[in-house]
Amino acid sequence: MITIPEELKSEYPFESHFLSIENNNLHYVDVGTGEVILMLHGNPTWSFFYRNLAKYFSVNHRVIVPDHMGCGLSSKPQDYEYTLKTHVDNICLLSQKLNLTNITLVVHDWGGAIGMGLATRYPHLIKKMVIMNTAAFRSIEIPARINILRNPVGEWFIRSFNGFAGPATIMASKKGLSPLVKKGFILPYNDFKSRIATAKFVQDIPMSDTHPTYETLKLIEEKLPTIKAPVLLLWGEKDFCFTMNFQKKWLEIFPNAHAVTYPKAGHYLIEDEKSAVINEIEKFLKD
């Protein structure tokens, strides 16, 4: 069990909650009262990624931030179906158990596909959506540095040397992270076993129609236009992974989205443009 060290409690001051799913514990933050904001992280982050948004918006909202199974403070089972479908199932179950409605959905990275899995299954639950540097549709665009990690040797490298979460603390932010924040991002991924999901997420990227997750992602993509909730599209232009091509695709799917881009921000958009992102989301919530 990962515990939050004292020096990180000012950054991540949240009480832990857990949902038991088939003998594994899904960890989540549940803070504040009011209309619901559900924030879904990607790989290789965890609920720590949304800490600043959670602290700010929980003053007037109920903010819920889960750690996907295998990530953050959730269980890290070694024999588990780390697939898009399973992650979507888990978030749908969490939403049902917590009786969430009128949800403002905030997504980033793999949280996009997982969150849109929830939104396409239960569009009536979604009030608004904030989409940041992510995808929920098929694409053949992938950085070589990520593609090379999708094989068994890549899994060994990620799990042996923290070869995904570690480099991300340098590559994903254009303005740089403090040593304390870097420590927070890699805290839950401190040994071979704890890094299983960071490796499995990479392997779960469906680059061809023979991949097990291809049909799951295809179905989500086909149903995206059925979501009628207003969309705020926030994008770091310097993202090496989710480039501006992905942002343009989102605008094709949701042409009425309000789009804001940040020329000097990378993949970890909230780290590079925290105040600007908070201001845009706050205006969006008040509209």
Domains, the chain, in order of start with CATH, read 6-286 (3.40.50.1820)
Residue 203 above 80 pLDDT?
yes
Measuring CA to CA, which residue among 39, 277, 261, 42 is closest to residue 168?
42
> What average pLDDT does this structure show over 206-220?
97
Q: What pTM does this model have?
A: 0.98
Q: What distance in Å separates the CA atoms of residue 161 and residue 163, rounded to the nearest whole number? A: 5
- Burial (0-12, 13-18, 19+ Cβ within 10 Å), 220: buried
Q: What is the pLDDT of residue 248?
A: 98
Mode of pairing for the β-strands spanning 126-134 and 231-236: parallel
Residues facing 108 on adjacent strands: 132
Residue 1 above 80 pLDDT?
no
Reported confidence tier of residue 172, pLDDT bands at 50, 70, 90: very high
The model's pLDDT over 9-20, given as tens digits with 9 standing for 90+, comes to 999 999 999 999
Reported confidence tier of residue 287, pLDDT bands at 50, 70, 90: confident
The model's pLDDT over 221-249, given as tens digits with 9 standing for 90+, comes to 999 999 999 999 999 999 999 999 999 99
DSSP for the chain?
A: -----GGGTTT--PPPEEEEETTEEEEEEEE--SSEEEEE--SS--GGGGHHHHHHHTTTSEEEEEPPTTSTTS---SS---SHHHHHHHHHHHHHHTT--SEEEEEEEHHHHHHHHHHHH-GGGEEEEEEEEE--S--S---HHHHTTSSHHHHHHHHHHTTTHHHHHHHS-SS---HHHHHHHHTT--STGGGHHHHHHHHT---STTSTTHHHHHHHHHHGGG--S-EEEEEETT-SSS-HHHHHHHHHH-TT-EEEEETT--SSHHHHSHHHHHHHHHHHHH-
Token pair for residue 193?
């076993």
Within 8 A by CB and 6+ apart from 227, the residues are 116, 119, 120, 123, 126, 129
Reported confidence tier of residue 145, pLDDT bands at 50, 70, 90: confident
